[in-house]
């Protein structure tokens, strides 16, 4: 190997090493940013609960704002069987999805009639969502209130499949993430989960039949 080729190879190695370190540093920074946000959001939710206040997100029908003005102030999602647990933030902007599960603005919030729509990245907060099954429990919490849903079905749709945002009768929940789960780059499809809200008695009866749900309560 000539001297010039040795120099070129060495500089290539240096360049790849620097690029790898930069990528690793970026990933660590994003992860740290998400963890800090999650901790702060959980503390804020605990602070509100300790003050004995309910979130202003859920109001009586007479006090409900227009759909466009509804906000998810602070809350969390938990899927016990999959060990998924995350705080939720309003909007699905790039900045929000880096640190939390995002609530699609304009859709319902827990406790309201309509469709609560949440989205997250497949490789962060919705990692493992592909293992969800009909009947699985999903729990949404806001200060002072908790709402439980049972998975009805899953589906794979194109990015323009906006029907998943539509509201039906009753109170429903829709989770959205990119698909395929192990796709490299911008995934071409979306994986969705649709669940219906259940009352406390129905939830407890179902949990008695499936004790694994209770294990993670």
Measured in residues, the chain has a length of 217
Residue 98 parent element (H or E): helix 94-99
Query: Is 182 part of the annotated catalytic residue set?
Result: no
Task: Decide: helix, strand or coil at residue 205.
Answer: helix
Q: How many CB atoms lie under 10 A from the CB of residue 91? A: 16
- Picking from 177, 20, 146, 12, the residue whose alpha carbon sits closest to that of residue 80 is 146
Query: Is 121 part of the annotated catalytic residue set?
Result: yes
Q: Are 102 and 88 in contact (CB under 8 A)?
A: yes
* Catalytic hit among 22, 121, 182, 206: 121
If you ran DSSP here, which 8-state letter would residue 40 be given? H
Q: Go through 158-190 and write b for each residue having 16 or more CB atoms within 10 A of its CB, e for each that does not.
A: eeeeeebeebeeebbbbbbbbbebeeeeebeeb
If you ran DSSP here, which 8-state letter would residue 217 be given? -
* Catalytic hit among 103, 178, 182, 206: 178
Catalytic residue ranges: 121, 178
């Amino acid at each position: 190997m000539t001297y010039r080729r040795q120099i070129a190879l060495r500089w290539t190695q240096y360049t790849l090493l620097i690029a790898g370190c930069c990528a690793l540093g970026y990933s660590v920074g994003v992860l740290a940013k998400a963890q800090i946000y999650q901790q702060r959001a959980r503390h804020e939710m605990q602070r509100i609960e300790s003050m004995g206040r309910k979130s202003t997100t859920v109001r009586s029908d007479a006090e409900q704002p227009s759909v466009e003005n509804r906000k998810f102030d602070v809350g969390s999602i938990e899927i016990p069987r999959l060990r998924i647990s995350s705080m939720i933030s309003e909007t699905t902007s790039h900045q929000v999805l880096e640190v939390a599960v995002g609530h699609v603005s304009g859709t319902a919030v827990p406790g309201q009639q309509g469709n609560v729509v949440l989205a997250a990245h497949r490789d962060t907060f919705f990692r493992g969502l592909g293992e969800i099954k009909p009947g699985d429990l999903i729990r949404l919490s806001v200060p002072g209130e908790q709402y439980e849903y049972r998975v009805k079905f899953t589906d794979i749709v194109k990015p323009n499949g906006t029907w998943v945002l539509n509201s039906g009768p009753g109170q429903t929940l829709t989770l959205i993430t990119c698909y395929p789960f192990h796709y490299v780059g911008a995934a071409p499809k979306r994986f969705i989960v649709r669940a219906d809200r259940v009352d406390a008695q129905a939830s407890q009866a179902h949990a008695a039949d499936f004790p694994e749900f209770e294990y993670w309560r």
